[in-house]
Structure formats: C-alpha cells, structure tokens
Amino acid sequence: MFKILGKSWLSKDTKKFVINAPDIASHTQAGQFVVIVSNKNSERIPLTIADCDRTKGTVSIIFQEVGFSTRELGALNVGDSLRHILGPLGTPTQIENFGTVVCVAGGVGIAEVLPVARSFKKAGNRLLTIIGARTKESIILADELKQASDELFITTDDGSYGKQGLVTDPLKELLTVIEKSTHSKYPNLVYAVGPVAMMRAVSELTQPYSIRTIVSLNPIMVDATGMCGSCRVSVGGKTLFGCVDGPEFDGHLVDFPELEKRLNSFKEKEGCLNKNCPRKM
Amino acid sequence: MRAKVPQQDIKKRIQNFFEVTLGYTKKQAREEAERCLLCKDPLCVKGCPVEIDIPAFIKLIREDKIKEALAKIKERNNLPAVCGRVCPQEEQCEAMCILNKKKIPINIGALERYAADYGRSPVTSRESQVTSKEPETCNLRPATKISVVGSGPAGLTIAADLAKIGYSVTLFESLHLAGGVLSYGIPEFRLPKKIVDEEIAYIKSLGVEIQTNVLVGKTFTIKDLFEKGYPVIFLGLGAGLPQFLNIPGENLGRVYSANEFLTRINLMRAYAFPEYRTPVNIGKKTAVIGGGNVAFDAARCALRLGSEVTIVYRRSEAEMPARSEEIQNARDEGISLQLLSQPVSILGDEHGFVKGLECVKMQLGECDNSGRPRPIMIKDSNFVMDIDTLIVAIGQTPNPLLSKATAELKTNPDGTIVVDKNFMTSIPGVFAAGDIVSGADTVIAAMGAGKKAALAIDEYLRKRVKGQG
C-alpha cells in the first residue's frame, strides 16, 4: 500500500504529501511524474514528483486543489493510503551543464520546478529562477528555490509579494538588458512550467533570441503509459504523446492553442462532478 | 438444428452495459452437446490454439458432469469463461468441426462457456484440485522465481501454467487492475468484469502473485528484475500503442483512439459517471473508423451512451476482420455501416471540437499482401459526414516503452520483439510471446503462444539447473 507519511499546507489550497513508495523513489529523476488513484471510484490523475528520498523510500507530491479529484486527494490524511500510484513516468529532464539556465514557474508549477532547478544547479549551471502567482499566499517554496538558485525573482499579479506583474516581466527585462549590454550573454536554456498561457508567453518571448526553451506540458492523461493518446500534443507538426515522449518539449515547436482547446475537452463534465450532479444513464 | 443461444432483448440491451449473450440453459446445453459426433480423430481440437480435448468435455456435459467437464477444459485452458465468450470460434474449433459440411457446426464456444459458468466451484477447492496434480515435476523445480510482465491473456496463461508446474510466479501489471485487454478493452456487455475477476482469482489460487501499478521499464528495469532474483523474465506486453490516421484535425476535442475511449469506459467505468469519476464525452452522432472487433466494441459502447453511431470502413463488409456475430449484433442494435469510405480530414468547430468527417469513396482492386482486395480511392468522390464524436479503431502496434528503455532488446521495424523458436529474446533469460511478438491478434492466439512459451521456459530452466548441478 502507498501510505501517506506526511501532509502539509503550502498555501490555502496547495498541499504536500509525502508518500511511502520505495520502488518509485529509487528510480525517480527530475521532471518525472506519477499517476494517482485516490479511492475506489476515482479517476487517474497525473502529478509531478516534487521530491524524493531514496533512503527513506518516499516521494513527495504537491498539488493545488482545482477540482473534484484534487480535493478528494487533499481530503486524505496522514496514515491513510492512496489506492494506487504508478511511476515514475515520463522522460526525465535532460540535465547537463548548459551554462546559464533560467527557470520560470507559475502557480503550482513552482512546486514542479523545484527538483528540476536543483538538478540544473547541481550540474554546475548558473541558475536564475523566476516564480510568480496571483497573490502572495500562492507563492510557495520561495526559501527552497532561493537556496537552489543564484538569483530568485518573484512576481505577483497584485503586487502583494515581489514585483507586481507577470513572470514574463523579469524575463523580458533580463533579455532587454542583455540586448543592450556588450558583455552579458543570453541564457543558454530557459525552462518553463505552469499554466499553458504562461508557457506560451515565455516561448514567444525567447523565440526571437533563439534561446532554447523547454516547457513541461500538462495535457489530459488516462493511463500515462502510452497506450491511449489522450495526452497527444502537436510538436513541430508531429503528434507526440505527453506521457511518454514528454512531458517536456521544445516550447518553440508546441502548438499551444491546440493544447489549450484539448484541456477544455471535459470542462462540462468536470463542472458536473464539482456540483455532484445526479447520475444520468 | 443448432441450439440457439438466448440474448438480452435488443431494445433493453442498448440502454445498459449488461451482457448481451445470456448463455445456454442446462437443457439447451445438453441438447447441443447431444449433436456432437464425438469423433475418434477430432478435427475441432486441431482448430483450437490451446488444444482443448473438446469431444471429451462435451461428453461430460452430456453426462451432466459439468464440474468434470470444466476440469477437462482447464487441463488446457486457464481462462475458459473468457474464451467461451470472446474466441472467434467460427475461424477456429468450429471451423474444423465435421458438421460444417452441413453448415451447422457444434456451438463449442457456447458449451465451453456453459461449463465455465455452471461448473464453477469455490476457488479454494479448485486450488487443491490443481496443485495436487503433477507432484513429481514439482520437485525438479524448487520454487524458482519467474517474473511475468503484463497480465493480459498471454501473461495470465503463462503464469498459470508455470505455477501449475511448481514455479514461484510474480505477475507485474502497469495498470491498476490485472487482465490487460480483458479489463480495459473488451466491454462489459461482451465480457462481464466479474467473470474476468473470477478467472484472475483462479490464477491467483494457483499461487501466482500479482503486483499492479508496476511499469517495467520505469518502475523496474529488466536488469532490476534479474537482480531481484528472477532468472527468467517473460514479456507479455501486448500491442497497446494506438494507430492514428495522420489526417488533419485528428487532435480536435472528442476525437478518441479506441484505446482511450474503451479504457475510459471499461477500466474506469465512465459509463457510470459521476458515480465513477472518470468522464467520457460523447455527442449525438459518432463515427467509428475501422472494421475490427475493437471498432465494433467502441461503436456499441458509444451507442449505449446514447449516440447515433456509424462505422466507417474502407473495404466492404466481407473484408471486415470483426466476428460476424458481432457485426450482426451491432446491426441489430441499430449501428449503420458506411462501407468503402476512407476518412481524409476531420473538420472542427471554433471551440476545437470535431463537427464533421470528410471521406472519399473507395472501390476494391486486386488483392494485397494480406490477401484482401486493396481499396482504391475514387477521384472526386469526397463527401462530408455530419458528426460530433470520432473514434479511431484502425489497429494497435506494440508499445515501444520497454524496448526503448532496454537497448539490448532486439525489435523488428514494426516494434514487435524478436524471439527465437524457443520464444527467447535477444537477452538470455528474457522470453516473449503474444501480441508483442505477433502483432495485434486474438485473445486465444496470445494464450496459445503463452502455453508454448511456458513449456520452453520450463525446458530452459531445467537445462540451466542441470548445467549448474
């Protein structure tokens, strides 16, 4: 069984679970995820592995309660067990010494960027991290990321923490400063994780500078082992599976509008679950 | 006359997911069994991929010894309740039946199913019944650990056969339920999940341990399994990678692979949403592309969710690979066939959902490699079907996940795993059979291959022990 050993609140609606899953812990690499089934009738949902401890045999997940299934998961407590957990899934992040790396994360993406940021730093990169959220209380893991990065920039939509604005603002500023300077170099890699609109904006920003940009996509998944294609995305005109070919792809090649539309596929049904509609059949 | 198998009323059944075919009553089974000529040199057995002693079990049904009939079947077949339901008997045992000369072969499938359904006894008593057999062979192989990867028909068969010989077998499954295509692919109205659960409980009663939520290649590697003390690893991974049409519009909303659609319905029980939390979106008019059993399963599921359904196939009905019984069932249920039509593009609305399917008419030409007439496009014959849901069921190929993670594992260009005549892959000690070797085929073909692979593995381990001793 997959026992919940720790539960903590990172913000009002963002929770962290530490789960006993030794086989997953011993194989996890940065950028990978798990699929979780909370209870008997639950759906399968993908969640990034935010941290793992090989000696203790645990993995951590951080999730925002955005709908029925994440709320159902959030209702579990220490001592409870997850019905099912499968992982580690997906292709790990390509980690090497690129030179300078900028990690950009928005919302719950901040939790997802932490293991990747740490790995980039460990590989010897100069690491700049930009995190942003709507408001102060949604900024999570700021201390951990500060420790992992050479520089950390924080933005909030309402200006309640860090600079007022979007995560793309510090990135834009950085690129403009470099453009004007004669001695600074462009970052070698930009890594973005968060809402689709944000990953798209980051990719559009870096494209004119030809800075390699990796985005970690979040398409709808079912099995997450490559057998259904629910998570398919168009990358450079080719159809790829988010669960096995990704979840990370070249941001300059991803068809973001298509991804956004596909993410809306089940909106009506999600609404129905949230309102606890009676069964229609 | 062949005793007719009762079915659920058409009007009722299209509104539920309960089993369509109800199976023989005792009287009907007896009647049908009486027709068997009990041939001395029975051809039907040769038509069965696992070589069940068909006349022997039919004779036992005649004598009203149903439990004994089931035991006779189980000597060869570990999943009779499944096979009696989903085998294409008309191409196998029943195709060989001598009574075919009069065009009324014995309904072997229905009798096998009858024996399995009515001959069931508690799992515990079956356990003692089976493990008490073959005592002398047990001693030769003291609890050697064998890992079987994939719990579909091939994996279940080989696990059961090796456990019966006395090996300690662990079955690894990536999904949260065992059964492979029996659990996620074939719908409840053809194969009730309760039946699958019971067959799997039987396999467990033989001493097979099943570990779900293990994706070999990710959770463990092949190397890990060797290090965990399994000298033999069997790969029964199946052919689970869905093929797409590669035409414009394929990534629109409400365009599904049959695998996704069927997994949502069968494994996740989306038909019982919101009691079960996995949603499925189905519109008013559905087109299903393909002519195999998977296409018909998907079409009949969509119909039960309230959609009007058309099957679009590029050849004519005669070339459809689906079982004729299923084509008939689908027609009875009101599914229409749009034959000799090939999709060329999928049209979408402003929200990104499918709203139409553009097809081109086809005509049949000379036979191709598969022995079927080649469909040829008729120029300027394009037409548009007004649909809001599309399911693509044009076949599956092996999932490359494990072979990508295992450089030493040799594969063919089509993704199937290369094996020698003893089912051994390019890695010593690693065996494979079923769809991962043959490409997508039937449940019983995978079981037949699993049976032969079990013998090959046993021989390999015996030689290995001798070599060490």
Quick: pLDDT tens for B38-89.
Answer: 999 999 999 999 999 999 999 999 999 999 999 999 999 999 999 999 999 9
Q: pLDDT confidence of B141, banded at 50, 70, 90?
A: low
Chain B interface disruption, residue of A59, A263, A264, A281, most B CBs within 10 A: A281
Smallest CA–CA separation between B240 and chain A, in Å?
5
Q: What pLDDT is recorded for position B190?
A: 95
**pTM of the full predicted structure?**
0.93
Residue B140 has pLDDT above 60, yes or no: no
pLDDT bin (cut points 50, 70, 90) of residue B127 is very low
Judging contacts by C-beta atoms under 8 Å, the chain B residues touching residue A225 are 174-175, 215, 240, 399, 401
Percentage with pLDDT > 90 across chain B? 84
Q: What is the pLDDT of residue B121?
A: 54
**Can you give the pLDDT at residue A192?**
98
Please give the residue that has the higher pLDDT: either B342 or A266: B342
Indicate whether B130 pLDDT > 50: no
pLDDT digits (tens, 9 = 90+) for B159-208: 999 999 999 999 999 999 999 999 999 999 999 999 999 999 999 999 99
**Per-residue pLDDT, A108:** 87
B268 and A265 in contact by Cβ < 8 A?
A: no
pLDDT reported for residue A277:
55
Please say whether the dihedral angle defined by the alpha carbons of residues B18, B323, B93 and B242, taken in this order, is positive or negative: negative
Q: Does the structure show a pLDDT above 90 at B451?
A: yes
- In Å, what is the CA distance from B410 to each residue of B105, B205, B223, B243, B322? 43, 35, 15, 22, 31
pLDDT exceeds 70 at position B138: no
Å from A142 to nearest chain B CA? Answer: 31
Whole-number pLDDT of residue B181 = 95
| Residue B368 pLDDT exceeds 50 | yes
Residue type, B252: L
pLDDT recorded at residue A140: 92
How large is the average pLDDT for residues B352-379? Answer: 92
- The per-residue pLDDT for B468 is 64
Q: Strand A100-106: give its sheet, edge to edge.
A: A163-164, A151-156, A126-133, A100-106, A189-193, A212-216, A248-250
* Interchain pair B212, A264: CB under 8 A: no
C-alpha B205/C-alpha B208 separation (Å) is 7
Partner residue facing A84 (CB), from B213, B219, B240: B213
DSSP assignments along B401-443, one per residue: HHHHH-TTS-B-TTSPBP--TTSB-SSTTEEE-SHHHH-S--H
Question: What dihedral do alpha carbons B433, B436, B441, B445 form, nearest 10°?
Answer: 10
Distance CA(B353)–CA(B255), nearest Å, equals 8
Checking if the pLDDT of B33 tops 80, the result is yes
Mark the ranges of chain A whose per-residue pLDDT is less than 50. 279-281
In angstroms, rounded to a whole number, what is the distance separating the alpha carbons of residues A112 and A49? 7
- Selected for mutation to probe chain A from B273, B275, B354, B396 (highest A CB count within 10 Å) is B273
C-alpha angle A171-A174-A178 in degrees, rounded to nearest 5: 140
